[in-house]
Amino acid sequence: MADIEFKGRVAIVTGAGGGLGRQHALALAARGAKVLVNDLGGAVDGSGGTAGAAQKVVDEIRAAGGEALANAASVTDFAAVEAMVQQAIDAWGRVDVLVNNAGILRDKSFAKMSMDDFRLVVDVHLMGAAYCCKAVWPHMVAQQYGRIVMTTSSTGLYGNFGQSNYGAAKLAQVGLMQTLALEGAKHNIHVNALAPTAATRMTEGLMPQEVLDALKPEAVVPAMLVLAHESAPTRTILCAGAGTFEAAHITLTQGVHLGIGSEVPERLAARLAEVTNRAGEQVPQSGAAQGTNEVAKAMAAR
């Protein structure tokens, strides 16, 4: 097996002042990367902020012999994100890896959730990731190399009660990944998504201690390292938790051609089980696959 190492690489990890982000930053640094540690230093709900959280992780990395810089920008502030990326460029001349890990929670059932809380969670997770990607993109294009890791979630992929804002933002990151991977391919920019299950500040009090012990953030880190490495795949959704690793896929069934007409709604309802049958489903290589399948079936039925 080839070593997963990052000597000579420069990485930015957002939300790296604690929990999973801290473990990501420490692991990248331990394997040779120069790491810009970003963290606003706020509470789980996004309130407050201090540069101390990021600096503590930088101090850990430096104490272990690595190179690191601290940054306390909010990922919701595009100008601050651009300055963060420039900070890495000024110090080390390039950015090879971006791990979009910053996030907050404002959980409530949708009926009780304010739209301000919905928007803020989307702003941090989705717009924060988009801002960071936009800021590193021209540098990665210029150097013809980049590895971007989105942090999605099982909540985004499969849903979770009380997390409509979080789930919407997390699945949106997968949609961003899908297109950026296509657009980045010719520039050797690989874009992937990590769906972690880990015990962090966000999960305290939600699970028994025995379960929390099994779900150490460190157990997720190998998946991030694989997705951030030069040998990484692209457009992969890797799930990880408690030392187990899975892949998630957005698939398309074979479907059924029913044509056009006033009776089609009734025919569709009658054959819905056939439409949703997963036998022979595919993982489309782009969004065009849906239209291609539909038109091919329509032409075959003529």
Examine the pLDDT at 202 and tell me if it is beyond 80.
no
pLDDT score recorded for residue 45? 61
Burial 30-60 (b: 16+ CB within 10 A, else e): bbebbbbbbbbbbebebeeeebebbbbbbeb
Catalytic residue among 131, 145, 158, 166: 166
Rounded to whole angstroms, how far apart are CA atoms 173 and 205? 27
Q: Which residues contact 285 (CB under 8 A, 6 or more apart)?
A: none
Q: What value does the CA radius of gyration of the chain take, rounded to a whole number of Å?
A: 21
Query: Please, which pLDDT band fits residue 261 given cuts at 50, 70 and 90?
Result: very high
Closest among 92, 100, 103, 97 to 69, alpha carbons compared: 92
Examine the pLDDT at 49 and tell me if it is beyond 80.
no
The single-letter DSSP state of residue 32 is T
Outline which parts of the chain fall under CATH 3.40.50.720: 10-248
Examine the pLDDT at 5 and tell me if it is beyond 70.
yes
Cα 251 to chain centroid, rounded: 19
Closest among 43, 71, 66 to 55, alpha carbons compared: 71
Residues 207-240: pLDDT tens digits? 788 888 888 999 999 999 999 999 999 999 999 9
- Bridge partners, residue 190, by sequence: 147
**Hey, what's the torsion of the CAs at 39, 237, 248, 162, to 10 degrees?**
20
Q: What is the CATH number of domain 10-248?
A: 3.40.50.720
| pTM for this predicted structure | 0.94
Q: Annotated catalytic, 145?
A: no
Residues 133-182: pLDDT tens digits? 999 999 999 999 999 999 999 999 999 999 999 999 999 999 999 999 99
